[in-house]
Structure 1
Amino acid sequence: MQTEATELLWADGAVHGVRARGPQGEVEVRGRLVVSADGRSSELREQAGCARGRSACRSTWYGSASRSPGSRRRTPSPTCGAGGMVVTIERDEYLQVGLIIPKGGFAALQDAGLEEFRRTVAGPAPHLRSVLETITEWDQLKLLSVQIDRLPRWYRRGYLAIGDAAHAMSPAFGVGVNYAVQDAVATANALAATLRDPAAGEVDLRLLDGIQRRRMPPVAGMQRIQLAAHRFISWPEGVRLLPDPLPAPLRLAVVGPARPQCSRSPRG
């Protein structure tokens, strides 16, 4: 625990473990297989030479964390209108407000100024006008890119990427963690016997290839569905076709299932 893998260890062209940094300093962990589950910005994946395929990102989510003092009224989410789609997430002392815009549209918003930004958000979400007045500078806002991509090859000798390290999913439908857990289960089922056998030696690449072949069809299928959803909601005419208020199944598709609230700072 509390130990971060920082570097792959190599021998004879294969990965043989990791160098890591923990509470007691630097350590080396040797093993016959490194399973890389370190997320969409995985450093280990880059060191393994498993290049990502072309990003299929189609839209960005532009958000802020703010709330009017004393406001406790529950806000509908998401809401649609001429300005696009707005997503709000309730927190104890503030709201997180997201405006879904086409990829590359952030520069145009900045050029138009903060007042125009506030008007754009208030178009589909007029109930947020008082919250938007608390946004007085661009530093209060964050640009979050929605990333959908996957590795052409998830493995090499002694190394396997799973979860977001192998295939970044968008927030649409809230399925990213489910697909990552399914990767882990498939990996455990395929490799448990081999890894328990001390005489088995290096993990056969055919086993690693089998894991990717099993997991790739559902991952690619869901990513196609997510891309279709993003193309629709990042297109103003598409948003206008959506019912307002959105029925529960469509709300779930956009923001995913409800998650427990955490006590974190607005900047967390």
Structure 2
Amino acid sequence: MLASSHAERDAVCMDTRSDTDTDTVIVGGGPAGLMLGLLLARRGLRVTVIEKHADFLRDFRGDTIHPSTQELLGELGLLDDFLARPHADMSEVTLSWHGTELTLADFSHLPTARKVMTFMPQWDFLDLLASSAEEFPGFRLLRSTRIQDVVREEGRIVGVTGTGPDGPVDIRAHLVVDASGRDSELRTAAGLSPVGVAASMDVLWFRLPKDGDEVYPFIQAGAGMAITIDRGDFFQIAHVIPAGAWTGSEDDLHRMNERLRRISPRLGAAAAHLRPADVHLLRVRLERLRRWHVDGLLCIGDSAHAMSPAGGVGINLAIQDAVAADRILGPVLSTRVPQRADLRRVERRRVWPVIVTQAIQRRLQGPLLASGAADAPLPFPLRMLRDHPRLSRITGRFVGIGARPEYLR
């Protein structure tokens, strides 16, 4: 499983590889960055992952682990460790539209060992990846370290600079991978900028207390949409609203409560105590880079393509980017410095599923924002799922494994 030792590899490749601090430096300790770091470390490569925060404990992040990602964890021998952590499984995604129940996505027919979407706090998932990667001697994780710039030599990016707990940080690498998210400063420093379409929706996140065995439908709709995630001792709510409809004022809060009461009177009553400071805004962006790379640097995950939260598929796509990057670039890094043609192979492999997914997400924005009276007809996509239940298997495949799943085999 492991590649040859560093000494043997450097001896073979001394004509094409210069002395560096690490084979790969990955900026961003999210799902894409840590998964790629783990996969490359398994090959015996030297990998440094840089995370700007001191830990992974941040709220209101994507917590969905899709069936295809769980299949990957099984390939890595990590599935039992994953399932030993607190989690909840969902075999189908259901929606309540003014009391009309229907299935949006059915995972029961997927060609995966686990045919469920699993909810797990992202910090637990990231901790699993980090602790697994740290078992390999070539892996290191630098926390509380912010990268501000790239290092160039003869027109090629050869490293990054920034600030860590002990002062300036300067790391040289054969490859820099930007997995730092949709607000990446590294991407800007490399001269890359995304293009996209204006999203018509934003998402409000907030918590509500849980009273004993109280339950809510997972998705409720009819005046926008509300998703309720049961966290055991509280509910985490995601409320879809029109883009630009939230400035954090008391009037905005009142309008939010009115929408929630139209979706679910009980949910609206539970949210009546909230203050504007309790509500967190996620501005939805649908954008991607025209080119994911420059000489010496590759972008993956949200840094390459910011996704809508619809379906929770952004994490799945980011992890699939990491798997493709490992499969294509791992063997290259074992023998030589990756060239732009190598980085272009990763982009070509992954850009098609991104384009398809973003096109579908754009089409979903209208139904997600749809608002109507209790006796109004269902929006057309929901009527199709109600009248043709087998269509939920198709949506289940799209959400559960994606347009182009990536595995190690």
The equivalent of 2:277 in structure 1 is 139
**Secondary structure of 1:49's partner?**
coil
1:42 aligned to 2:181? no
The equivalent of 2:328 in structure 1 is 190
Q: Deviations over 1:189-218 (max 9, x none)?
A: 222233222xx45x3212212221121111
The equivalent of 2:238 in structure 1 is 98
Residue from 183, 207, 215 that aligns with 2:342: 207
What is the identity, as a one-letter code, of the residue corresponding to 1:226? Answer: Q
Could you tell me how far apart the structure 1 residues matched to 2:284 and 2:227 are? 14
Name the stretch that deviates more: 23-32 or 6-15.
23-32
Give the conservation status (yes or no) of the 8 Å contact 2:180–2:303. Answer: yes
The size of the alignment, in residue pairs, is 245
TM-score, normalised to structure 1, is: 0.79
Name the stretch that deviates more: 147-156 or 165-174.
165-174
The equivalent of 1:117 in structure 2 is 256
**Secondary structure of 2:263's partner?**
coil
**Secondary structure of 1:106's partner?**
coil
**Secondary structure of 1:92's partner?**
coil
Residue from 347, 351, 370 that aligns with 1:235: 370
Q: CA deviation at 1:23?
A: 4.5
**Secondary structure of 2:142's partner?**
coil
1:126 aligned to 2:265? yes
Give the conservation status (yes or no) of the 8 Å contact 1:102–1:235. Answer: no
Segments of structure 1 that go 5 or more residues without pairing to the other structure are: 258-268
Could you tell me how far apart the structure 2 residues matched to 1:170 and 1:77 are? 18
Residue from 53, 74, 88 that aligns with 2:228: 88
Q: 1:179 to 1:129 in 2, by over 3 A?
A: closer
- What is the RMSD of the two structures over their aligned residues, measured on CA atoms? 2.9
What is the identity, as a one-letter code, of the residue corresponding to 1:85? Answer: M
**Secondary structure of 1:177's partner?**
helix
The equivalent of 2:219 in structure 1 is 78
Could you tell me how far apart the structure 1 residues matched to 2:332 and 2:279 are? 49
**Secondary structure of 2:215's partner?**
coil
Give the conservation status (yes or no) of the 8 Å contact 2:250–2:276. Answer: no
Could you tell me how far apart the structure 2 residues matched to 1:39 and 1:192 are? 22
Could you tell me how far apart the structure 1 residues matched to 2:201 and 2:364 are? 10
Identity %: 32
Superposition pairs for residues 143-182 of structure 1, below 5 Å? 143-182=281-320
Give the conservation status (yes or no) of the 8 Å contact 1:86–1:125. Answer: no
The equivalent of 1:30 in structure 2 is 172
Give the conservation status (yes or no) of the 8 Å contact 2:184–2:303. Answer: yes
TM-score, normalised to structure 2, is: 0.54
The equivalent of 2:360 in structure 1 is 225
Q: Deviations over 1:80-108 (max 9, x none)?
A: 22x2222222223322223211212235x
The equivalent of 1:265 in structure 2 is none
